[in-house]
Chain A
């Protein structure tokens, strides 16, 4: 019999350990399969292009509806990317291992949502000025639009992440997730689209952006805990 090998390492958990683990792993997986991120962005561009075709391409009308259409498009694209956030980890047992990790749930939950935002929300934000140009939005409106998406899409990812984790293993899959997540997205949509619209009509976008910022802070404080708790319920 071989002599027992001394075990040198002691397991220890930390917020940053869990966060960086989830970020590094999910970004590497996304990098191996960039098609998912590309599809999200393509969907966004497609939806936004459908409106001028359906409503008519009158420039004034387009400039008027532009901010709202772009926000709705981004919201739907972010929503469609949600099921992928936890489904694979749920199916292959990774969620069990995460729940049993010495790292606090807060860390890896936040890390996973952050990685998800980088491959879904961030590309949408970066693409939005281009779509805005198609709608003939003024340059300052484009800036406010992108800023509102930059603040708003992380809130969508956090809210959606909690809902996606809650709906794991449930009957009714995508429709159920829509029923859970979309009503919670409503305030973000109102303030987000409101910001660019206010800017376009010559009012100040600041109140909308501040409210959006407040929502982001509240979401950052409260929702990673909720995501962790939802995952714990899902693997039970």
Chain B
């Protein structure tokens, strides 16, 4: 595997003794795991067990009450910018603007990620997720699944090493799910890491799939 970043440290996400409370209730505590390049960690558990909060803690959106998150061996807080440029997060909320077209939404999403892409690349990515004909109409007129596909195109063009995905298969039809698994497969094969909260069984052809069960 070739190192795709400047520092020589290997791509690895380590989470140590993570605990989080929401209000007075303890969501989870003592969470330990490690994800290395080429690995997918599926976070499973019943609704309300804190899967989303765990993912948000890893990205840095939510402050954990205890524990540390190490990215490439260093605490994520020491260099949050490096952590952020290496992480792509796809949450419940689509972060799409209804008044912008699929093409514009993709362009702005990537610019926000600090990724320079050409119009041609973006058009290809949208074509790959089946939105070539609909790329110029406002996102409000797209179906829920088509809106999710814009997110897939974003992931495809984002060079982030770590994908943090919250229910990535929601609203996607069979073809869309296949597209996603294919994308994930390529990401893992290229040495990427992924952390996903999902109720579905994800089986990419390459990469190691492991599970973390939250009570």
Contact = CB atoms under 8 A, between A and B. Distances in A.
Contacts of B144: none
Contacts of B158: 11
Interface string A10-35: 11111001100100110011001100
Contacts of B77: none
A9 B116 contact: yes
Interface string B15-59: 000000000000000000000000000000000000000000001
Given A5-B186, A25-B108, A235-B61, A94 B114 contact: no
Given A9-B117, A29-B99, A98-B112, A4 B186 contact: yes
Interface string A54-95: 000000000000000000000000000000000010011110
B169 interface: no
A190 B94 CA distance: 43
B111 A17 contact: yes
A207 B144 CA distance: 57
A201 interface: no
Given A1-B189, A94-B95, A21 B81 contact: no
Nearest to A25: B108
Contact of B160 (A11, A24, A32, A93): A11
Given A1-B205, A93-B94, A101 B108 contact: no
Interface string B112-128: 11111100000000000
B111 A100 contact: no
B93 A102 contact: no
Interface of B is mostly: loop
A11 B94 CA distance: 21
B61 A101 contact: no
B99 A10 contact: no
B95 A101 contact: no
Contact of A93 (B92, B117, B182): B92
Contact of B84 (A10, A91, A100, A235): A100
B96 interface: yes
Contacts of A21: 108, 111-112
B6 to A, nearest CB: 8
B113 A11 contact: yes
A6 B89 CA distance: 21
Contacts of B189: 1, 4
Contacts of B96: 92
B81 A104 contact: yes
B84 A102 contact: yes
Contacts of B93: 91-93, 96
B40 to A, nearest CB: 15
A236 B62 contact: yes
B63 interface: yes
A94 B94 CA distance: 8
Contacts of A236: 61-63
A86 to B, nearest CB: 13
Contacts of B86: 11
A22 to B, nearest CB: 9
Interface string B164-193: 000000000000000000100110011000
A1 B206 contact: yes
B206 A11 contact: no
B42 to A, nearest CB: 20
A28 B63 contact: no
Interface of A: 1-2, 4-14, 17-18, 21, 24-25, 28-29, 32-33, 88, 91-94, 96-104, 108, 235-236
Given A1-B205, A92-B97, A236-B61, 8 more contacts: A7-B190, A11-B86, A96-B61, A96-B91, A96-B95, A101-B113, A103-B112, A108-B112
Interface of B: 4-5, 59-63, 81, 84-87, 89, 91-97, 99-100, 104, 108-109, 111-117, 157-160, 182, 185-186, 189-190, 205-206
5 contacts: A2-B186, A7-B159, A25-B97, A92-B97, A101-B84
